[in-house]
């Protein structure tokens, strides 16, 4: 499983984004990722940018800490919520390719060139 810029729960994210007293208690507990990760029976790759302005970087760290082994954490210095593949560049692509190859018990990634295009241009 690969999670990128993922929050611990919808309720917690709403409370962080909209700090209105009592709001979180009124919301259903949608997407309780933190609770569910303890039951994960697959390799996990958590990817999070340190400058994420939507989901705090600490959420990625908490998800990683809650997950059982095997697990990998890819920290993207300077990465925001929607640009971590671009900011992460080669590290991002190589980590993802290695994780998928290892998780699927395939041979190591080929020498094929992988390139992420900036969709903004």
Q: What is the pLDDT of residues 59-82, one digit of tens each?
A: 999 999 999 999 999 999 999 999
Helix (H) or strand (E) holding 34: helix 33-37
Helix (H) or strand (E) holding 74: strand 71-76
Q: Has residue 97 been placed in a domain? A: yes
> What is the extent of the structural domain holding 45?
2-17+30-103
Taking only the tens place, the pLDDT of each residue in 5-56 is: 998 888 788 777 888 888 777 877 778 888 888 888 889 999 999 999 999 9
Q: Has residue 12 been placed in a domain? A: yes
Q: Has residue 22 been placed in a domain? A: no
Note the pTM of the prediction, 2 decimals.
0.76
**CATH classification of the domain holding 57:** 3.40.50.1820
Overall number of domains in the chain: 1
Q: Has residue 120 been placed in a domain? A: no
């Amino acid at each position: 499983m690969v999670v990128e810029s993922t929050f611990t729960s919808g309720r917690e994210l709403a409370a962080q984004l909209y700090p209105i007293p009592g709001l979180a208690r009124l919301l259903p507990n949608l997407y309780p990722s933190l609770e569910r990760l303890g039951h994960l029976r697959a390799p996990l790759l958590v990817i999070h940018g340190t400058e994420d302005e939507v989901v705090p970087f600490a959420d990625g760290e908490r998800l990683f800490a809650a997950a059982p082994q095997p697990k990998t954490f890819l920290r993207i210095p300077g990465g925001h919520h929607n640009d971590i593949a671009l900011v992460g560049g080669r590290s991002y692509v190589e980590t993802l390719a290695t994780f998928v190859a290892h998780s699927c018990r395939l041979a190591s990634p080929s020498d094929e060139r992988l390139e992420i295009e900036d969709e903004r241009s």
